[in-house]
Amino acid sequence: MSPREYPDRPFCGVGIVCFKDDQVLIVKRAKPPIKWEWSIPGGGQELGETTRETALRELKEETGIDARLIGLVDVVDSVSHDEVGQIRFHYTLVDFAAEWIAGDPVGADDVSHAAWTPLAEIDTLGLWSETVRVIREAEQLRPGGTTAPKQ
């Protein structure tokens, strides 16, 4: 059992929606709570680390990609219950948007695969609805988008 299963407090997770041209970077998770599901790169914040530092570190660790942050997208609550109603996982997810700088995606650390996927296809990948929403909102933070970055 993971030390984050059946927690006595929420954990802070940080995600990063990384763009390259008309593509977004996705990863296939290799650990619970969403083992073998596609998602955006990200992971747990470490003591003394800012959320922005976490986003860029997790991106590099999980995919080998370097990026430049362009803004805060949203904060999402993820609470999963077991079959008897106990809280099995509880994450507060802070999601950032970024533009690719360098590197080719290679799955490492907590992911088995990392790949660029066309933005036009994200609705067909079986992603969590909140992940799709966050990706769509992150698109608006890109140059030419219609939403100003959150500070």
Mean pLDDT of 97-118: 90
Nearest-angstrom CA–CA distance, 151 and 149: 6
**pTM reported for the whole predicted model:** 0.86
Structure tokens at 33: 């709570």
Nearest-angstrom CA–CA distance, 22 and 108: 24
Residue 43, beta-bridge partner list:
14
Domain total in the chain: 1
pLDDT value of residue 92: 95
Going 25 to 29 to 32 to 34, the CA torsion angle's sign is positive
Mean pLDDT of 84-107: 94
**Residue 150 pLDDT level (bands cut at 50, 70, 90):** very low
Structure tokens at 23: 């593509």
| Domain assignment present for 79 | yes
Beta strands in 21-86 (DSSP E): 23-29, 38-39, 42-44, 66-81
Q: What is the CATH number of the domain that holds 105?
A: 3.90.79.10
pLDDT at 112 over 90: no
The per-residue pLDDT of the chain, averaged, comes to 89
| Domain assignment present for 146 | no
In this predicted model, what pLDDT tens digit does every residue of 56-89 receive, in sequence order?
999 999 999 999 999 999 999 989 999 999 999 9
pLDDT value of residue 32: 60
pLDDT at 33 over 90: no
Nearest-angstrom CA–CA distance, 42 and 3: 18
| Domain assignment present for 145 | no
